[in-house]
Structure 1
């Protein structure tokens, strides 16, 4: 993948990169009012219309459009509407061959997170997402420095953490926020979002208010509506569905409802110290192969094991309760492949693939 600068603010016309198979356009500014819009169309395929809901005041890269040019068509009635484009990403490889790798794991350090850190290093991932309980027993700053940092500190340039319940054994998760700083999002909130390729990732905090009327869920709905990406993943600590010791958690339903309604694709969680893969599900657990969200429970970062023998409202498709390992997410503009990668010396693996709900059109 290559990047290029757009030499002047584009008001209409095309942004091109000779020989490119696909392009993503970076908006330095987007401020649309009323019903004003900007439509982007790839010279080979793909179209998307930006509206006032899409990232006001925030620079962002759009989804990828196939071809060597993207046509920019504004439709303005309000004189206050404006935008500027300053960069693009492109590649001479076909879009279907353009992949990003994200590593995901929870419940880490623990006595054995040196083993899972080795797995993450071998994956050569562009991003590492953590599903909480990163430094036992209480997520204090000293535990982060003594247990987490010697093993996972090497991934600071790619890590995107969330806190677990053990972080909150230290008042207000102070050790967590002190250690990660700006990487953890706003202090006291701990929820934020970012993009990897054509995927939008949302980090949530399942240790603070998460009711349907909470500030966090209101933010989540707005964030999902603002994204221009065709694929969406979210992650936090407490699972909505689990056959492990902690069982299903209905208090997580507002997260799941917001994601389901926005046609999100993947959820990664921890808390139960095992691996569980669930079928595409509605927020109540009913299987929904057309529009459901797949939950991956990856509490296998290095803290020991819980069995799973409880009932769950959702359908567990695969699981393991005696193998440390990491989720490897291989992401494209239209879907994903998930592989459970075990630590050295263990043999359990699991693989599943899926298509993004909003990938077409």
Structure 2
């Protein structure tokens, strides 16, 4: 598939944006960038002290963009809470932004996955009205320099399905095959593997490694975890600010790092030669840091 460079500003600013564009639409930003830094937050949208602290940490990094692992708008995904839960802390990454907390970004740099709390607004209208995202806005792809980001909707309400044979999964398989960057990151809410309270979502245990994913990053369980299972890197990142942190149970085989003592966020730095993942607590403590080098 030939990919063209499309600035998000153009997509977001179109006054006649179609309500249901094709789900294979992708956005490419700064295609010539040789390196990129992104932040990852999950289970964050509760408008409290923990979220404010994590947002301050994220802003201190000045990342190029932010990706979420869902549950952006507690408790019910409502229009009445979305700006206080998201825009209050991240408005300067959102475009177009029409909330009440200051100026938005020149082009969109905030890419949320949907969580079960976001889906409590069953028509997703508060979410779709607030954001201007690629494709059908539930699942989509974004390329930024050496990183290809694939945001998946893992919720059972997803009309295109969530098992490995679903329309959505086949979209991901095709997009991963078409992406030519060295680093392919898949984001979703429900974790395929987790040692936390909710545990593993068997329906989402797709053959990501076979399809070419570098990492699968999820939330839902309110802890941090790094796992490697059947050659695939999995990360759970659900400490973005919801007041309750979850217990960690008996570690799954392949679980290398687990943490639930404080809130925090992930920082990912990538260039053409390697990619580094970190989880940093709101205190600034680096809980986990590791790298992958490009093969060949």
TM over 0.5: yes
Deviation of 1:348 after TM superposition, in Å, equals 5.4
1:160–1:184 contact (8 Å) kept in structure 2: no
1:227 pairs with one of 156, 179, 185? 179
Structure 1 residues 214 and 88, CA, compared in 2 at 3 Å: closer, same or farther?
A: closer
1:323–1:348 contact (8 Å) kept in structure 2: no
Deviation of 1:142 after TM superposition, in Å, equals 1.4
Matched, 1:166 2:113: no
Structure 1 residues 310 and 140, CA, compared in 2 at 3 Å: closer, same or farther?
A: farther
2:246 pairs with one of 298, 303, 306? 306
Q: Give the whole-Å Cα distance in 1 for the aligned partners of 2:32 and 2:271.
A: 15
Structure 1 match to 2:165: 213
**Deviations 1:57-96, CA, capped at 9 Å, x for gaps:** x4149xxxxxxxxxxxxxxxxxxxxxxxxx9848xxxxxx
1:102–1:126 contact (8 Å) kept in structure 2: yes
Q: Count the aligned residue pairs.
A: 253
Q: Report the secondary structure of 1:172's partner residue.
A: coil
**What's the C-alpha RMSD, in Å, of the aligned pairs?**
2.0
Structure 2 match to 1:332: 271
2:164–2:203 contact (8 Å) kept in structure 1: no
User: Where in structure 2 are the equivalents of 1:71-110 lying within 5 Å?
Assistant: 89=32, 98-110=34-46
Relative to total residues, which structure has the larger strand share, 1 or 2?
Answer: 1
**Deviations 1:269-326, CA, capped at 9 Å, x for gaps:** 10001111112x22xxxxxxxxx221111101001200101453x4111111121111
Give the structure with higher Rg (CA).
Answer: 1
Q: Report the secondary structure of 2:279's partner residue.
A: strand
The alignment's TM-score, normalised by the length of structure 2, stands at 0.80
1:162–1:184 contact (8 Å) kept in structure 2: no
Larger RCO (CA under 8 A, 6+ residues apart): 2
Matched, 1:59 2:4: yes
Question: Following superposition, which runs of at least 4 residues in structure 1 exceed 4 angstroms of deviation?
Answer: none
Deviation of 1:147 after TM superposition, in Å, equals 2.1
Q: Report the secondary structure of 2:124's partner residue.
A: helix
Q: Give the whole-Å Cα distance in 1 for the aligned partners of 2:250 and 2:135.
A: 34
Unaligned runs of at least 5 residues, structure 1: 1-53, 62-86, 91-97, 283-291
